[in-house]
Amino acid sequence: MKVQSSKFKVFAVFGFISFMLMSLVPQSQTIDSKLLQAEQLYNTSKYDSAALLYQSVIDSGYQSPELYYNLGNTYFKLQEIPTAILFYEKALKLDPNNDGIVHNLKLCNTLIPDRIDEVPRIFFIRWYQGLYNYLPIDVWAFIGLGFFFLASFFILFYFLSSVTIIRKFGFWVALIFVMISAFTFFLTTQKYSSFKQHNEAIIFTPSITVKSSPAESSVDLFVIHEGTKVMILDKVGTWRKIKIQNGSIGWIESENMQLI
């Protein structure tokens, strides 16, 4: 009876997994169908309909740099520049080295009122940021795993070989690969944390006065306009403490922005 019970449990588990996998197929086909239909609408200049269809795919839980990029292009055609910037930024977050996304985002930023110069960064911060953005999060994760398995392979030389020079070689190579693996996993976790935090936003109010504190009666500091990218540093109620690229800091209400 125990053997039959165990067999039944195994079949039940396999049956459940098979059911789940089969249920994903129609969903994938529906998404592909919508994306194809949206692309056809875009190519026939029916941008409003294309935008609605792309958005419905996002609302279903699907996301990719290509999807955000295509939606950004659609809103660019609709001349809704802040919304185009928002989706280009979302696409860039997933694929930071995509030349097409970078080019279109730069083009959009020339069409908004604010021209904010970024504060120069120290060389090693620029180097780290360039490395950080060089590859998508999933690629960094695979590289980390690859170096970890290589380290495991070379550590075998250390434990199994009786030749001293081979043991030393295996130890030092494994140590180097472990360090590289740890660094790539660090980059992966940093990128994942950044992706989940949503600490950047795009301004969607035509003109907003940034305040010195989270109160309407506080001192006016400066004015920013729609399409401007801000970093969110803190929040108090409906107010958000923001920082713009030139380093200026102040407070605005959250209704004036949309998170990237």
Mean per-residue pLDDT for 83-96? 94
- The single-letter DSSP state of residue 157 is H
Rounded Cα–Cα distance for residues 192 and 195 (Å): 5
Predicted local distance difference test score (pLDDT) of residue 18:
46
The residue-averaged pLDDT of 156-160 equals 87
**What are the boundaries of each domain within the chain?**
2-109, 123-197, 200-259
Instruction: Give me 224's structure tokens.
Output: 């920013």
Residue range 162-193, pLDDT digits in tens: 888 989 999 999 999 999 999 999 988 888 87
CB-based contact 87:67 (threshold 8 Å):
no
CATH number for 200-259 (one of 1.10.10.10, 2.60.120.10, 2.30.30.40, 3.40.190.10): it is: 2.30.30.40
The pLDDT tens digits of the residues spanning 43-53 come to 999 999 999 99
The structure's pTM equals: 0.74
* pLDDT over threshold 50, residue 17: no
| Residue 3: pLDDT over 60 | no
Say if domain 2-109 classifies as CATH 1.25.40.10: yes
